Chain A
Amino acid sequence: MNGRLQQEWRLFLKAPATLPLLIVLTVLSAFAVYNGSHRVVQSDRAVAAALADDIERYATYEKTAADFEAGLITEAELGSVRNAHSTVLFRGAARVLIPVRSELGFLSAAEQRPTPDLQRIGINTRYGNTDPALDNPENRLDGPFDSVFIISWLVPLFVLLLSYDVMARDREHRGSALLAAQAGGLRTIIVQRLLVRFAAVFGIVATILLLGTLYNEPDRLGTALPGLAVLLLGLGLIIGFWICLSAGINARAKNAATAGLVLLTVWVGTSLLAPVAISIILNRTAPPPDRLQGILEMREIQNDLNRRRDAVSQAYYDAQPDNRPVRQGNEYEEYWVRELYPRILAFDAAFAPLAQEREAARVRQSETLRRASVVSPSLAMKLLGDDLSGGTPERRQSFLRSVDDYQRQWRDHFDDKLASMRPLTAADYASAPIYIAPAEDKIDRMRRLVERLAALALAFAVAFAWAWWSLKRVEP
């Protein structure tokens, strides 16, 4: 650091507002990381408990069936583990599937996220199974207090507060002429002052994010650190954007209040109003999937299949003649196996394409939103943070596709025993398909991140060019 820069750094720290603002930024950033970490811990705990239940349940099924086959227990002690309709068809016996962990999950503290933390899948359809959230929607109204919020909306405001008067203040006090006479002139001084502010804000936020990464992902640093590098690059670009705007405005502004008001207007325009305008336009050009229409379509299919239930069962057994029941079940078993099971399969066959189209509509909206974010650096930064924390429709779509693939395998595995009411064996449980969450397509992933960074880089480039042009013409 050269002497001038050191001097600017000392002057920056001596300013009465600097330390309080930097302390507040540190506390808020740390609090946001804590909130995200807390959410990750809660989520991990719930996932671990669900997985443990799932593993234990199927281990018990397998062991009980094996004990029975080895003659260690009697039929009376067996329970219902050999009846597929009581085990795998039972909704509570659905397998617990976990998506691949995102690089930086702790960035988000949102309780409701696009990709579920876990998905339960069994023989039954997953489409009617809507787990409602009990949380108070007032807590969702403003969004979570997390790192995505800090880096997208708050950091620009702190940059604004720290840098809006770097030269306008001196003009106001008529000190700019004196500064202009120093070596390097006003341009160098403005740049040095802003570099100091950049370093302070970036340093604080980046350090806290690094600590958050080390704390939350100690075993996955290989994937977390590249994610963090992308995030920090985005952070650098958004801070750089605001620093450049400050430079451009301070090159001209006659007083600090005017400079502050202009920067505030730009913040309101790009961070508050631009996202709203984008929302309104996207609602017309890339509308979200129509949930109400989806409900009506689902119920219409349910009604149609109910009206044709005998024909649906008949069609299933005609197509799978080897699966005809080998025995008469009780009243419930007859309903669950002969009637409901074929209807579940027919329902999914009819509804899955509609559900997939809804997922595709979400992804289309996400892609359009990503491109539109070029006019709002805050929005672009939010989308980058959301992506790295795992909150994108693309990730959800990829996970749900793999879930559907797994459900097909699961159904195929138990299909004959379930439909024919033949007893399940320990081998059936032992050879049941295992879910392996696939990683997202790397090229698609890279494309998304590059697009988000490109939006930020473009905003930065425009601001930089303007700052360069303004600083070349700076006058006392």
Chain B
Amino acid sequence: MFEIARHEFQHQFRDGRLTIASLAFFALLVSAIVSGWVQHAEAQRQHHAFTSEARAQWLTQGERHPHHAAHFGNYVVKPELSLALFEPGLRPFVGQTLWLEAHERPAFTNIPSEDDQTLNTGLGVVSGAAAVQMLGSLLALVIGSLAIVGEREKGTLRQALSQGVRPGVWIGGKIAGLASILAVPIVPAAVIAMVGFLLIAPADTRSDVGVRAVLMLSTNGLLILIALIVGLTVSALVRTSRAALLLALGLWISGFILAPRLASTLSSHFAPTPSLAEYNAAVGDVFDAGFDKRGGYMQQFEALRVTTLEEYGVETLDALETGYSGIRMKHLDAWSTEVDDREFARLQEVYGRQQAIRLGVSSISPFVAARSVSQGMAAMDWAHYQDFLTAAERYRREFGYQMNDLLQQRVTGERWEMDGQNADWAKVEPFQYHNPSAFWAIRQQTGFLMVLLLWLAASWAALAFVTRRLRP
């Protein structure tokens, strides 16, 4: 098998077209990595500057009512791992910043693709990962699809099989040889990327980044291997290289161009995300009407008045020695939090259904599965963004409570007007967030990882099946 692989490697490299294609692909990968590296460094610098400036603006906002300060809010930035230089994932369509203000659950608004039209110009081959996934797979499919049929057309397949080599061994050698050819541009690029990941990563995250990087690069390698095996299967099935090329291209178009868009379209049709207006209307209705036999806000407001009077033993709210406005705001926020959590859980179910549809589509396109795993390992998938959103929402509630508490402490009775000072704003701790561990990321991607392994097994079995029936 080693001899066949070595022969295949030498034979293919004598073909100038493949040498040029490999060199061009290597140059493309290195350019994408270097460009990603430069952009990542620039983005990190900008985000550090933004975070410290936004924090300084919070701290120096001057005298302000605590509730207005809560509406002025805080900006937080999602930290990125160094892997984002290779796999930017969803960043162009989500962004990194969140505005946290009173009453509102945060959602991503400063989306780069809304400002930058260059992010919507093509089919998305902007990063190293996308280049490997789309172009690497195309290359693997094409060379795989021409490998056996080319020998058949030249008559060398008959010679090879007549020498007593078992077809399985011969195909194994072919796979090893062709995989070696594909490794020529990809492995050095992967090594350069790996060095970049580890050099940029802070020392305390380096091991986590290392695990994630290995998994991310392996997943991309696995996708290319699957594409190669599928290409070889096609090649063993058809009689002419024209038909092999047509079939390979058809598979690439359907699996790499149509399937991802189909997944998005099916998700939007069968599990539509509510618009912001619909979501807010649903929250507003429950907020006013209540749920689980609990009355709406006006009923609760009245109950709160009664219980506060009883608790403090006073006749009127104005007689309170504490700020009823603060108590009321705390209650309002607590109630809106409950209502919002309920609606948000429904929204999560919608996202879950969309993910299930995507998983279903990945059964006809390993690209969808591999890309999802790759993004997950780079901490740039929707699961990681959701985790960041959850942490940011927790922080928003905490500082909102602090603002309401300030109001309760500083006024009495039903009074509302008061001003907090810079010293009060400084008591709000800055937001801290760390990306979850690699093992958490793997758990989020288990389904897609399984699909990829199934693809590998299925394509291998298909190749084994056609190999047994291989005729010159």
* Residues of chain A having any CB pair with chain B under 8 Å: 17, 28, 35, 38, 46, 50, 109, 111-112, 114, 130-145, 149, 153-154, 157, 160-161, 165, 169, 172, 255-257, 260-261, 264, 268, 271-273, 275-276, 278-280, 282-283, 288-289, 291-292, 295-296, 299-300, 302-303, 306-307, 331-332, 335, 358, 362, 365-366, 369, 378-379, 382, 393
Q: A145-B262, A303-B60 are in contact. Are A292 and B50 (CB under 8 A)?
A: yes
0/1 interface trace, chain B 17-47, chain A, CB 8 Å (1 if under): 1000000000010000001000000000011
A-side contacts of B276, CB under 8 Å: 131-134
Closest chain B CB from A271 CB (angstroms) = 7
Within 8 A of A (CB), among B54-91: 54, 57, 60-64, 68, 72, 75, 90
Closest chain B CB from A40 CB (angstroms) = 14
Residues of B in contact with A, size category: 35 or more
Does B423 sit within 8 A of A, measured CB to CB? no
* Distance A132 CA – B94 CA, assembled complex (angstroms): 10
Query: CB < 8 Å: which of A271, A288, A302 contacts B118?
Result: A288
Closest chain B CB from A176 CB (angstroms) = 15
A-side contacts of B125, CB under 8 Å: 272-273, 276
A-side contacts of B60, CB under 8 Å: 303
* Distance A257 CA – B260 CA, assembled complex (angstroms): 27
Does B163 sit within 8 A of A, measured CB to CB? no
Closest chain B CB from A204 CB (angstroms) = 17
Does B246 sit within 8 A of A, measured CB to CB? yes
Verify B117–A17 contact, CB threshold 8 A: no
Verify A142–B124 contact, CB threshold 8 A: yes
* Distance A222 CA – B35 CA, assembled complex (angstroms): 47
* Distance A114 CA – B50 CA, assembled complex (angstroms): 25
Closest chain A CB from B142 CB (angstroms) = 7
Verify B110–A291 contact, CB threshold 8 A: yes
Does B370 sit within 8 A of A, measured CB to CB? no
Verify B116–A365 contact, CB threshold 8 A: yes
Verify B117–A288 contact, CB threshold 8 A: yes
Closest chain A CB from B267 CB (angstroms) = 6
Quick one: closest A residue to B71, CB to CB?
Answer: A128
Closest chain B CB from A135 CB (angstroms) = 4
Pick the interface stretch among B175-183, B200-208, B250-258, B462-470. B250-258
What are 26 A-B pairs with beta-carbon distances under 8 A? A38-B269, A136-B267, A136-B382, A138-B381, A142-B124, A143-B120, A145-B262, A145-B264, A153-B257, A154-B257, A154-B258, A157-B249, A257-B150, A272-B122, A275-B121, A275-B122, A282-B118, A288-B115, A292-B47, A295-B99, A295-B110, A299-B75, A306-B63, A306-B72, A332-B416, A369-B117
Given contacts A279-B118, A379-B122, 6 further A-B contacts (CB under 8 A): A136-B351, A139-B273, A264-B249, A278-B121, A292-B47, A307-B62
Query: CB < 8 Å: which of A112, A157, A256, A366 contacts B117?
Result: A366
Verify B115–A289 contact, CB threshold 8 A: yes
* Distance A182 CA – B146 CA, assembled complex (angstroms): 33
* Distance A378 CA – B257 CA, assembled complex (angstroms): 14
Q: Which residue, A17, A131, A257, A335, has most C-beta atoms of chain B within 10 A? A: A257
B-side contacts of A273, CB under 8 Å: 28, 125
Does B265 sit within 8 A of A, measured CB to CB? yes
Does B126 sit within 8 A of A, measured CB to CB? yes
Closest chain A CB from B196 CB (angstroms) = 18
A-side contacts of B261, CB under 8 Å: 142-145, 149
Does B97 sit within 8 A of A, measured CB to CB? yes
B-side contacts of A379, CB under 8 Å: 121-122
Verify A291–B115 contact, CB threshold 8 A: yes
Does B162 sit within 8 A of A, measured CB to CB? no
Does B119 sit within 8 A of A, measured CB to CB? yes
B-side contacts of A393, CB under 8 Å: 117
Q: Which residue, A109, A131, A139, A264, has most C-beta atoms of chain B within 10 A? A: A139
0/1 interface trace, chain B 115-158, chain A, CB 8 Å (1 if under): 11111111111100000001100100010001000100000000
Verify A136–B113 contact, CB threshold 8 A: no
* Distance A138 CA – B274 CA, assembled complex (angstroms): 15
0/1 interface trace, chain B 271-284, chain A, CB 8 Å (1 if under): 00111110100000
Verify B72–A302 contact, CB threshold 8 A: yes
* Distance A256 CA – B239 CA, assembled complex (angstroms): 14
* Residues of chain B having any CB pair with chain A under 8 Å: 17, 28, 35, 46-47, 50, 53-54, 57, 60-64, 68, 72, 75, 90, 93-95, 97, 99, 106-126, 134-135, 138, 142, 146, 150, 240-242, 244-246, 249-250, 253, 257-258, 260-265, 267-269, 273-277, 279, 347, 351, 354, 358, 381-382, 385, 416-417
Verify B117–A260 contact, CB threshold 8 A: no
Verify B249–A161 contact, CB threshold 8 A: yes
* Distance A264 CA – B275 CA, assembled complex (angstroms): 40
A-side contacts of B124, CB under 8 Å: 141-143
B-side contacts of A275, CB under 8 Å: 121-123
Verify B135–A272 contact, CB threshold 8 A: yes
Closest chain A CB from B398 CB (angstroms) = 21
Q: Which residue, B62, B97, B269, has most C-beta atoms of chain A within 10 A? A: B62
Verify A134–B120 contact, CB threshold 8 A: no
Q: A268-B135, A300-B57 are in contact. Are A292 and B253 (CB under 8 A)?
A: no
Q: A35-B265, A296-B53 are in contact. Are A153 and B28 (CB under 8 A)?
A: no
Closest chain B CB from A177 CB (angstroms) = 19
B-side contacts of A292, CB under 8 Å: 46-47, 50, 97, 110
* Distance A299 CA – B258 CA, assembled complex (angstroms): 43
Verify A306–B116 contact, CB threshold 8 A: no
Closest chain A CB from B409 CB (angstroms) = 19
Verify B109–A130 contact, CB threshold 8 A: yes
Closest chain A CB from B380 CB (angstroms) = 10
Closest chain B CB from A347 CB (angstroms) = 12
Quick one: closest B residue to A113, CB to CB?
Answer: B114
Closest chain A CB from B146 CB (angstroms) = 6
Closest chain A CB from B241 CB (angstroms) = 4
Verify B115–A362 contact, CB threshold 8 A: yes
Query: CB < 8 Å: which of A109, A306, A331, A365 contacts B62?
Result: A306
B-side contacts of A369, CB under 8 Å: 117-118, 121
Q: A136-B351, A169-B242, A296-B53 are in contact. Are A144 and B35 (CB under 8 A)?
A: no
A-side contacts of B62, CB under 8 Å: 303, 306-307
Verify B93–A141 contact, CB threshold 8 A: yes
B-side contacts of A50, CB under 8 Å: 277
Quick one: closest B residue to A168, CB to CB?
Answer: B242
Closest chain A CB from B122 CB (angstroms) = 3
Verify B273–A134 contact, CB threshold 8 A: yes
Query: CB < 8 Å: which of A255, A264, A303 contacts B142?
Result: A264
* Distance A38 CA – B268 CA, assembled complex (angstroms): 11
Verify A132–B241 contact, CB threshold 8 A: no
Query: CB < 8 Å: which of B90, B107, B116 contacts A138?
Result: B90
Query: CB < 8 Å: which of B112, B257, B274, B381 contacts A134?
Result: B274
Verify B241–A140 contact, CB threshold 8 A: no
Query: CB < 8 Å: which of B93, B118, B123 contacts A140?
Result: B93
* Distance A306 CA – B110 CA, assembled complex (angstroms): 24
Query: CB < 8 Å: which of B249, B253, B264 contacts A142?
Result: B264
Verify B97–A295 contact, CB threshold 8 A: yes
Closest chain B CB from A120 CB (angstroms) = 10
Closest chain B CB from A398 CB (angstroms) = 16
Verify A134–B382 contact, CB threshold 8 A: no
Query: CB < 8 Å: which of A38, A134, A141, A271 contacts B279?
Result: A134
Quick one: closest B residue to A378, CB to CB?
Answer: B122
A-side contacts of B416, CB under 8 Å: 331-332
Quick one: closest B residue to A130, CB to CB?
Answer: B109
Quick one: closest B residue to A392, CB to CB?
Answer: B117
